[in-house]
């Protein structure tokens, strides 16, 4: 059990003294101290070595003042909403077209969101190395909540992706190799971190200045599923999942009648999704789940699970006779992004527009939104930008006066690219497009120049070889990685221009290698990086994850997820890598020399 200090906000295990709580105990004369602003319990027990011996009372009091100030500001905003001087958060989402349906009472949710900074989450399973445009609508709603002060949680389904969501599918998903699953999870984790940073900067340009009270988290459900006994899941929520209801769902019925049937693993996917919400509801106060309209059934099931588990839990400290109004869970679904023919955008449909610049370049992303029809562009401006509604009306008025100029489409494309890739890339992409169409003979290069890409690379590692650009995922032969100096591995992965450049980078500790956290399972819950040092070549194998994966990083965002295969398989696939041919020739010459030496030794002995 983890308890929380009412002053510092830090979490500590049960048998740990918090000096701040000891301080407040002296003032109040009570063992248990409750801070009404936090609604959390704190406890004072025996001190554990390693925590600060001297409590920073001044810092704790400052934190309390910040919390009180933020709450006072929230209460003042609630009064403006109640008086009709400002729109409520739910009204803002509705006016921009985010609300397809609400699971629960609409007015009760509106009232709750006005009175309380509720937690909300949207999730995605990393079944591909990148998000695509179709994924973004639930996250756009989450971004809006975040910049208005709500607690935003992004859930990465490291565990649920191994099962696969059957919603809307007539066939089972193709099974992915574990190394591909790991690579996808790592790539998407880094992409989500980078996307959040870019979105906050984009919001600031539209007047949403970052406040101290803004909170966001990126979590992976591996964090609990990897150590969670299945019997505990059944004990907690199994009784609430009625078999008749689960069998009656459209997805199950269609698979049984028209598809190839459904596996037990897929059938249990809604149980896993519901438990994810229950876990975050209890640990993070997440009361709102946001998803696509095809997720409405799973969201409703999650609401039923939370209500049942809260009122029937085997732990008496969790069980409540009746769920209080301010802790009721709700769901919100956004409309699905579809093509003009009504087909869903996505990887399975084969029409995904990726957010990774190495899978869909910024120029192609710009072109995608530039091709938006006049009937869709206003809706997209509301959904995919932070432009105020009044400004959008003016944009559309100007656009309709001369539709052939595609003014609204250009604004939409530039704004979207800026939100995803940053303002420098957006400006470069727009200039590239205009240059291309002013001079039709110009080379339609899809990537902005390196000077405009804010990729935070270490200056010791220019991206200068032809293997560096195509993909964040690369495949290398085992002999080019195992027992090799890290400078050679960096060069082979395409992260540096030469081996000497890789050596200088390792000396300056400008390159990093992904590590499995100590004590963790085979697959990390969080990705941690350590600086690469000039260690012995034999140490390189210690950083290989589960025998076939190594993750390398240069600078802040440039990452290569390296899949390691046997040399024979590498050759059969017709693959190549920087330095591979030279390495192979040198190895063949060394093997030949060794064979000659053995023959001479045998001849002398005979």
Q: In this structure, are residues 40 and 4 in contact, taking their beta carbons and an 8 Å threshold?
A: yes
Residue of 112, 119, 125, 114 whose CA lies nearest to 155: 125
Do strands 286-292 and 40-42 pair parallel, antiparallel, or not at all (unpaired)?
unpaired
CB 332 within 8 A of CB 99: yes
Is pLDDT above 60 for 81? yes
Tokens of 126: 């990393």
Provide the pLDDT for residue 131.
Answer: 94
Quickly count: other Cβ atoms within 10 Å of residue 10's Cβ: 12
pTM, two decimals, is 0.71
Q: Which of 526, 567, 459 is nearest to 185 (CA)?
A: 526
Quick one: pLDDT at residue 581?
85
Radius of gyration of the chain (CA): 27
Query: Where along the chain do its domains lie?
Result: 2-69, 88-334, 362-452, 473-590
pLDDT at position 366 over 50:
yes
**Is residue 580 very low, low, confident or very high in pLDDT (cuts 50, 70, 90)?**
confident
Query: Measured between alpha carbons, how far is 391 from 394 in angstroms, rounded to an integer?
Result: 5
Phi and psi torsions of 361, nearest 5°:
-65, 160
Once rounded to an integer, what is the mean pLDDT over residues 283-304?
93
Q: In a 10 Å sphere around its CB, with 0-12 CB exposed, 13-18 middle and 19+ buried, how is residue 284 labelled?
A: middle
Which range (191-205, 220-234, 429-443, 446-460) has the least confidence? 446-460
**Closest C-alpha among 522, 493, 222 to residue 512:** 493
Listed range (47-51, 158-162, 421-425, 495-499) with the worst mean pLDDT: 47-51
- Return the pLDDT at 455: 36
Q: What is the pLDDT of residue 464?
A: 37
CATH, domain range 473-590: 3.10.290.10
pLDDT of residue 18: 44
Highest mean pLDDT among 213-222, 338-347, 524-533, 546-555: 213-222
Give the residue, 550 or 93, on which the prediction is more confident: 93
Please identify which residue in the block is written with the tokens 């049984």.
Answer: 256
Could you please report the per-residue DSSP string of 100-138? SEEES-HHHHHHHHHHS--EEEEEE--SSSS-BGGGHHH
Mean pLDDT rounded to a whole number for the chain: 79
DSSP string for residues in 200-251: HHHHHHTT----TT-EEEEEETHHHHTT--HHHHHHHHGGGS-HHHHHTSHH
Q: Is residue 183 within 8 Å of 473, Cβ to Cβ?
A: yes
With beta carbons less than 8 A apart as the criterion, state whether 561 and 472 touch.
yes
What backbone torsions phi and psi does residue 595 show, to the nearest 5 degrees?
-65, -40
At residue 181, does pLDDT exceed 50?
A: yes
CB 203 within 8 A of CB 488: no
Tokens encoding 65: 């003042």
Closest CA to 125 of 82, 156, 94: 156
Q: Provide the token pair at 99.
A: 């609300």
Per-residue pLDDT at 466 exceeds 50? no
Residue 498: how many other CB atoms lie within 10 Å: 15
Q: What would the pLDDT profile of 247-263 be if each residue is shown by its tens digit? A: 877 777 777 777 677 78
Residue 185 has pLDDT above 80, yes or no: yes
Apex 58 CA angle, 57 and 59, nearest 5? 90
The DSSP bridge pattern shows strands 473-477 and 558-565 to be parallel
Quickly state the pLDDT bin for 606 (edges 50, 70, 90).
low
Q: Is the predicted pLDDT of residue 456 greater than 50, yes or no?
A: no
Of 130, 127, 120, 141, the closest CA to residue 199 belongs to: 141
- Segment among 122-131, 153-162, 350-359, 467-476 with least mean pLDDT: 467-476
Pick the CATH number of 88-334 from 3.30.450.40, 3.40.47.10, 3.20.20.60, 3.40.50.620: 3.40.50.620
Copy the structure tokens of residue 420: 């995803």
More confidently predicted of 465 and 181: 181
Which of 49 and 311 is assigned the larger pLDDT? 311
Mean pLDDT of 117-129: 94
Lookup: tokens for 19: 């000096």
What are the CA-CA distances from residue 225 to residues 154, 162, 489 (Å)?
17, 12, 33
The correct CATH number of 362-452 out of 1.10.240.10, 1.10.287.180, 3.10.620.30, 3.40.190.290 is 1.10.240.10
Quickly state the pLDDT bin for 526 (edges 50, 70, 90): low
- CA dist list (Å): 515 to 161, 520, 553: 22, 10, 11
Residue 110: pLDDT band by 50, 70, 90 thresholds? very high
CA dist 209 and 211 (Å) reads 6
Q: Is the pLDDT of residue 232 over 50?
A: yes
């Amino acid at each position: 059990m983890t308890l929380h200090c009412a002053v510092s906000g830090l979490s500590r295990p049960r048998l740990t003294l918090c000096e701040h709580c000891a301080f407040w105990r002296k003032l109040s004369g009570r063992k248990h101290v409750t801070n009404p602003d936090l609604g959390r319990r704190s406890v004072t027990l025996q001190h554990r070595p390693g925590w600060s011996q001297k409590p920073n009372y001044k810092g704790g009091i400052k934190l309390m003042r910040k919390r009180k100030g933020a709450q006072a500001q929230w209460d003042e905003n609630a009064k403006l909403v109640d008086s009709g001087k400002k729109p409520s958060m739910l009204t803002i989402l509705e006016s921009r077209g985010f609300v397809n349906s609400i699971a629960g009472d609409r007015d009760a949710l509106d009232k709750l969101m006005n009175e309380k900074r509720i937690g909300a989450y949207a999730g995605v399973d990393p079944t591909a190395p990148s998000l695509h445009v179709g994924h973004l609508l639930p996250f756009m709603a989450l971004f809006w909540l975040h910049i208005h002060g709500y607690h935003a949680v992004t859930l990465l389904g490291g565990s649920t992706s191994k099962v696969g969501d059957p919603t809307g599918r007539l066939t089972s998903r193709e099974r992915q190799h574990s190394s591909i699953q790991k690579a996808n999870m790592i790539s998407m984790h880094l992409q989500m971190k980078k996307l959040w940073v870019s979105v906050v900067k984009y919001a600031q340009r539209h007047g949403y200045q970052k406040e101290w009270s803004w909170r966001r988290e990126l979590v992976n459900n591996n964090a609990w599923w990897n150590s969670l006994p299945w019997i505990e899941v059944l004990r907690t929520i199994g009784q609430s999942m009625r078999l008749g209801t689960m069998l009656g769902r459209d997805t199950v019925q269609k698979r049984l009648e028209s598809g190839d049937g459904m596996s037990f693993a897929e059938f249990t996917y809604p149980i896993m999704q519901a438990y994810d919400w229950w876990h975050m509801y209890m640990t993070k106060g997440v009361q709102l789940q946001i998803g696509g309209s095809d997720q409405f059934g799973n969201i409703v099931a999650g609401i039923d699970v939370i209500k049942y588990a809260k009122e029937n839990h085997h732990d008496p400290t969790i069980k409540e006779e009746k769920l209080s109004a301010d802790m009721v869970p709700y769901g919100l679904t956004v409309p699905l992004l579809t093509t003009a023919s009504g087909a869903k955008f996505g990887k399975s449909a084969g029409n995904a527009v990726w957010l990774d610049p190495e899978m869909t370049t910024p120029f192609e992303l710009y072109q995608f939104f530039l091709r938006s029809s006049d009937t869709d562009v206003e809706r997209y401006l509301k959904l995919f930008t932070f432009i105020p509604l009044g400004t959008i009306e003016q944009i559309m008025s100007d656009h309709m006066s001369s539709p052939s100029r595609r003014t609204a489409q250009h604004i939409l494309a530039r704004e979207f690219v800026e939100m995803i890739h940053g303002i420098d890339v957006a400006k470069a992409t727009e200039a590239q497009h205009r240059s291309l169409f002013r001079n039709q003979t110009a080379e339609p290069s899809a990537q902005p120049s390196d000077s405009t890409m804010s990729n935070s690379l270490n200056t010791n590692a220019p991206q200068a070889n032809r293997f560096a650009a195509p993909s964040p995922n690369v495949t290398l032969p085992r002999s080019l990685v195992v027992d090799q100096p890290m400078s050679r591995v960096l060069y082979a992965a395409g992260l540096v221009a030469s081996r000497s450049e890789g050596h200088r980078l390792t000396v300056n500790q400008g390159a990093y290698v992904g590590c499995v956290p100590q004590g963790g399972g085979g697959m990390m819950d969080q990705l941690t990086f350590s600086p690469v040092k000039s260690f012995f070549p034999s140490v390189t194998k210690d950083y290989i994850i589960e025998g076939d994966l190594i993750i390398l990083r240069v600078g802040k965002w440039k990452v290569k997820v390296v899949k390691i295969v046997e040399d024979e398989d590498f050759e059969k696939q017709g693959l190549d890598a920087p330095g591979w041919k030279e390495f192979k020739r040198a190895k063949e010459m060394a093997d030949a020399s060794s064979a000659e030496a053995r023959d001479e030794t045998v001849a002398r002995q005979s």
